[in-house]
Amino acid sequence: MKVSPPFLTLIVLALMLWGVQPALAAVKVELGLSRGAINFPDADPDTTPSIPAAENPVLVTVKVSGNAGGDWRLTALASGDLVFGSHTIPISNVSWTAQPLPFIDGKLDKATPQVMASGTGNANSTGSLRLFFKNSWSYSTGNYSQVIIFTLSAP
Amino acid sequence: MKPLHILILIMTITALLGATQALAATATANLSVSATVGSWARLDWPNPASLTFADSDPDNVSSIPASEGPVGVSAKARTGSSDMVTLTVTGTDLTSGGNTIAITNVSWTATGDFSSSGNITTGSQTVKSWTGPGTKRGNFSHALTNSWDYATGTYSGTVTYTLTAP
């Protein structure tokens, strides 16, 4: 049976990829949060311009293995603004401080995932996040809510 | 294309997809966020909160402005978007010993967000009302109607402004 050179190349490539897959599939990531929900309690806008979450801090555990030479990144993306019925409060009014490095401070966004931590290679880190809500006299009263999606990816 | 070639092509594509998926690993976790936004109200009146009407010739000065001049006031209310917020004023008659000057002789004039004017009474009067949360700002001026009928003395009374939000 004659096999043309292009297809011979494909055969070799396929065999190589099948052989390499087990090694490539060794990249693993694990992401953990110390709690699944937080609440910002009501507060006087004059005396408490920035309201800390009652459950602060939230611990974030990041584990990356089999990622030699590859980048990894932890991001946070809000599923929308804070909502109560027909009323909304921009999610950008929620921010966080983080420590230690590589965890960094930031502000939530509903369109663009915000980087919380990043690095190269493997990782086994726990970050301490403190979330804050910017208080205001201009908000309509109500109980607002939203979901934040944390995503750990490598490479 | 021959069957063998098709098979090889499929194997290659599958291997490529598998390799690509193996290259990217992802994990997600959700955090539910809630915020309790309650009702608050605050009326900021500068200190000292007092009004002084100097003695004046009733013929030359029929209305005596308060010596303190216009004062800047802010009213802050956090409430439902359709809730009514009200600023009211009430007062007591001015007294000096057994002598009285009716508080209705004291008037207010407000500018800015509180644009209004009137004579203070012993009952509650609405200075301004509005709907929904936010901060209102303006200046308040007061004046005492002068008269030859007043008995001499140093009179005093109380004027109370009240901000109400549900």
Whether the per-residue pLDDT at B18 is higher than 80: the answer is no
In terms of Cβ atoms closer than 10 Å to its own Cβ (0-12, 13-18, 19+), residue B17 is exposed
Three-class DSSP category at B34: strand
Q: Cβ neighbours of residue A37 under 8 Å, at least 6 residues apart?
A: A55, B31, B32, B33, B34
Per-residue pLDDT at B129 exceeds 70: yes
Chain B residues with beta carbon closer than 8 angstroms to that of A141 = 37-39, 78-80, 83, 133
Residue B85 Cα, gap to closest chain A Cα (Å) = 13
Pair type for strands A37-40 and B25-37: parallel
Mean pLDDT of B151-161: 97
pLDDT level of residue A100 (50, 70, 90 thresholds): very high
Q: What pLDDT sits at residue B6?
A: 77
State the amino acid at position B110 in one-letter form. A
Within 10 angstroms of residue B24's Cβ, the number of other Cβ atoms is 12
Mean pLDDT score, B49-66:
96
Give the three-state DSSP class for A5.
helix
Is A33 in contact with B31 (Cβ distance < 8 A)?
yes
ipTM over 0.90: no
Nearest chain B Cα to A61, which residue? B29
Report chain B residues whose CB lies below 8 A from the CB of A147: 30-33
Band the pLDDT of B15: cuts 50, 70, 90.
Answer: low
Do residue B37 and residue A84 have CB atoms under 8 angstroms apart?
yes
**Percent of chain B residues past pLDDT 90, beyond the cut:** 82
Q: Over the stretch A23-73, which tens digit does the pLDDT of each residue have?
A: 455 899 999 999 999 999 999 999 999 999 999 999 999 999 999 989 999
Q: pTM here?
A: 0.83
Q: Using one digit for the tens of pLDDT, what is the confidence trace for B71-91?
A: 999 999 999 999 999 999 999
Measuring CA to CA, how many Å separate B122 from each of A43, A122, B89, B104? 35, 76, 9, 8
- The encoded tokens of residue B40 equal 């608050």
Chain B residues within an 8 Å CB radius of A14: 8, 11-12, 15
**Cβ-count burial of B20 within 10 angstroms (0-12 exposed, 13-18 middle, 19+ buried)?**
exposed
pLDDT band at A18 (very low <50, low <70, confident <90, very high): low
pLDDT on residue A21: 52
CB atoms within 10 A of CB A84: 18
* Number of cross-chain residue pairs from A and B with Cβ atoms under 8 Å apart: 167
